[in-house]
Structure 1
Amino acid sequence: MAPQDALHGWDDAITAQAYAAFTRAYPMYNATSRDLARRARLTTSGLVIDLCGGTGATATAILDLVPPAARVISVDNAPAMQRIGRRLVPDPRLTWIAAAAEDLDDHVPAATADAVVCNSAIWKTDTPEVFTAVRRVLRPGGRFVFNIGGGFAGVHHRDEQTARTGPSLNSLIRQIAARDYGYTPPPADHTPKLSPSTVSRQLAQARMSVLATDIVAQHTTMAEKKAWLSIPVFARPDGDLSHAQRMDILTKAYALTTPQTPTVTSWLVVVAQRPEEQP
């Protein structure tokens, strides 16, 4: 099943505005979107799906690579995100569909998409259902390219260790939350939610082939991390705290860091394909 918070908070105007501002002000989404779009090999595509497309950062990268006559469909189940996206990406080649990723094949004709791209969201879905839906809409030979945060995949790029110069912002947040608000963190669960082996197994069950997996590092700064954690749906820590309290904790934690301190986030990037020989 999908996580209980798969949609919670996303269909909200404040969250959507903050999220859109972040994707345009900081390089993370642009960089990951360009990387996924490049791996999808879009130069001869006629139809590409931007799955869980949010406010259009990934759709923009896709539009930069597809032929002039190609169509792009952005699918997301948060209308608030799409309302902003329509204003930010007013390209006539781009169509917006408000729907859950699991219902993709209810909105796109079977075997018509040359590629499906999903940036920074697949772990928030019911992946077996989504993989099956993606397979149905892909043409034979079509590519499915997506990424998974390293924490969810249980993978770590070597740069994570070499770049670290002090405590992470998340660890400082937990310390201050405990000190100032009596926060008790839940028991640590280090079991990967979507390990590479789990992803491969689920894709095989959906009758898709894994062409490549890659662990990549996204280099950012402490200032970018703070901006990310200021978005309501990403604010930490979890638990019975108000957003104002979380922002107070974040401000205090950030004050113990240096804005330009480098941080590294690991990602598992997966390139899958609907095989040519399957009906």
Structure 2
Amino acid sequence: MASQDALTGWDDLANAEAYEAFTRTFPMYDITSRDLARRARLETAELVVDLCGGAGATARALLDLLPARARVVSVDAAAAMQEVGRRTLTDPRLRWITAPAEQLGDHLAPGSVDAVVCNSALWKTDTPAVCDAAARVLRPHGRFVFNIGGGFAGVRHPDEETSARPSLNALIRHVAETDHGPLPPPPGPKEPKLPLETITRQLNAAGLHVIDAEVTAQHSTMAEKKAWLSIPLFARPEGDFTHEQRMRILNDAYARTTPDARTVTSWLVITAERQKAAT
């Protein structure tokens, strides 16, 4: 099972509302969701799982792209995220299940799902258990498609070299130290949690075969990055600061940037396929 730490903040209504507003205002989640849907080959799909679906940003894209008869099941452990999603996304083809990703197989029949899509959240799960659960519910040749942030996967797209410098995070740290004194040193480099070799091994153990792995770049702007860091869950700097202090620091740091300056993040996007029926 995933640790309770994985839910810290996600089951808070203020975070959920701010997060959902971000997904509707900025294109990142729609772009990445549509990319995952394309890789899942959903033209003839009847049932698709939006895993760790939050407030429904990926489910919106899936419903837009799926055949009219198809259904989507959005699975997430954070009830607050789904509460916000239920208010804003009322398509009758969508079913909400409040449960950890690792328990997917407890809620859907074996071999009943055409594709499982997970946007931006696999890193916070017990990935071997999630791979097993996805394999169990997928039909033969059904696809499990997901992305992993570059830091967690240990990958870096060449476009990251064109990101604005200094980063907004670096400016936030500079402002915080100027106004409040030295911060603890940032943590040193860590071993990637989910490099391709590790996740491939976990997928294979579950009976899933990687058919494609690609490092992609997500392009955005300083304005979008500021909006992301305005969500309480993601506000910086860490440490003993109130949210109001963090927002003042963020606004000061942002004032030193160009709003439309380009920022780039890297992703490892993996498409895996169920080779035979689950046992």
Answer yes or no: same fold by TM over 0.5: yes
Amino acid at match of 1:201: R
Residue 197 of structure 1 corresponds to 197
| Moved segments of 4+, more than 3 Å | 1-4, 276-279
SS for the counterpart of 1:5 is helix
SS for the counterpart of 2:247 is helix
Contact 1:50/1:58, CA 8 A, preserved across alignment: yes
Residue 72 of structure 1 corresponds to 72
Cα shift readout 1:6-35 (whole Å, capped 9, x = no counterpart): 100111111111001100000101100110
Cα shift readout 1:179-203 (whole Å, capped 9, x = no counterpart): 3233213431232111111111111
Residue 252 of structure 1 corresponds to 252
Cα shift readout 1:78-128 (whole Å, capped 9, x = no counterpart): 111111111221110000010010111111111110000000111011111
Residue 7 of structure 1 corresponds to 7
The alpha carbon displacement at 1:3 in A equals: 5.8
Contact 2:110/2:278, CA 8 A, preserved across alignment: no
Cα distance in 1 for residues equivalent to 2:276 and 2:254: 51
Q: Which runs of structure 2 are paired with 1:121-140 in the superposition (5 Å)?
A: 121-140=121-140
Contact 2:50/2:75, CA 8 A, preserved across alignment: yes
Q: Which stretch shifts more, 2-11 or 32-41?
A: 2-11
Structure 1 pair 62–274 and aligned structure 2 pair: CA distance change class (3 A)? same
Residue 184 of structure 1 corresponds to 184
Cα distance in 1 for residues equivalent to 2:277 and 2:5: 38
Q: Which stretch shifts more, 108-117 or 242-251?
A: 242-251
The alpha carbon displacement at 1:251 in A equals: 1.4
Residue 165 of structure 2 corresponds to 166
Residue 83 of structure 2 corresponds to 83
Residue 210 of structure 1 corresponds to 210
Contact 2:139/2:277, CA 8 A, preserved across alignment: no
The alpha carbon displacement at 1:173 in A equals: 1.6
Amino acid at match of 2:123: W
Cα shift readout 1:58-89 (whole Å, capped 9, x = no counterpart): 01111122221111100011111111111221
Amino acid at match of 1:221: T
Cα distance in 1 for residues equivalent to 2:205 and 2:175: 44
Q: Which runs of structure 2 are paired with 1:138-149 in the superposition (5 Å)?
A: 138-149=138-149
Please, what TM-score do these two structures have when normalized by structure 2? Answer: 0.95
Residue 23 of structure 1 corresponds to 23
Contact 1:222/1:261, CA 8 A, preserved across alignment: yes
- RMSD (CA atoms): 1.5
SS for the counterpart of 2:6 is coil
Task: Confirm or deny that 1:40 pairs with 2:40.
Answer: yes
Contact 1:178/1:184, CA 8 A, preserved across alignment: no
Cα distance in 2 for residues equivalent to 1:165 and 1:171: 11
SS for the counterpart of 1:228 is helix
Contact 1:174/1:185, CA 8 A, preserved across alignment: no
Q: Which stretch shifts more, 240-249 or 39-48?
A: 240-249
Alignment size in residue pairs: 278
Cα distance in 2 for residues equivalent to 1:126 and 1:238: 25
Cα distance in 1 for residues equivalent to 2:185 and 2:236: 11
SS for the counterpart of 2:237 is coil
Cα distance in 2 for residues equivalent to 1:272 and 1:180: 48
Cα distance in 1 for residues equivalent to 2:51 and 2:67: 19
SS for the counterpart of 1:241 is coil
Contact 1:215/1:268, CA 8 A, preserved across alignment: yes
SS for the counterpart of 1:43 is coil
Cα distance in 2 for residues equivalent to 1:68 and 1:151: 37
Amino acid at match of 1:126: D
Cα distance in 2 for residues equivalent to 1:238 and 1:195: 26
Cα distance in 1 for residues equivalent to 2:100 and 2:277: 29
Contact 2:54/2:78, CA 8 A, preserved across alignment: yes
Structure 1 pair 66–173 and aligned structure 2 pair: CA distance change class (3 A)? same
Cα distance in 2 for residues equivalent to 1:250 and 1:105: 42
Please, what TM-score do these two structures have when normalized by structure 1? Answer: 0.95
The alpha carbon displacement at 1:228 in A equals: 0.4
Amino acid at match of 1:231: I
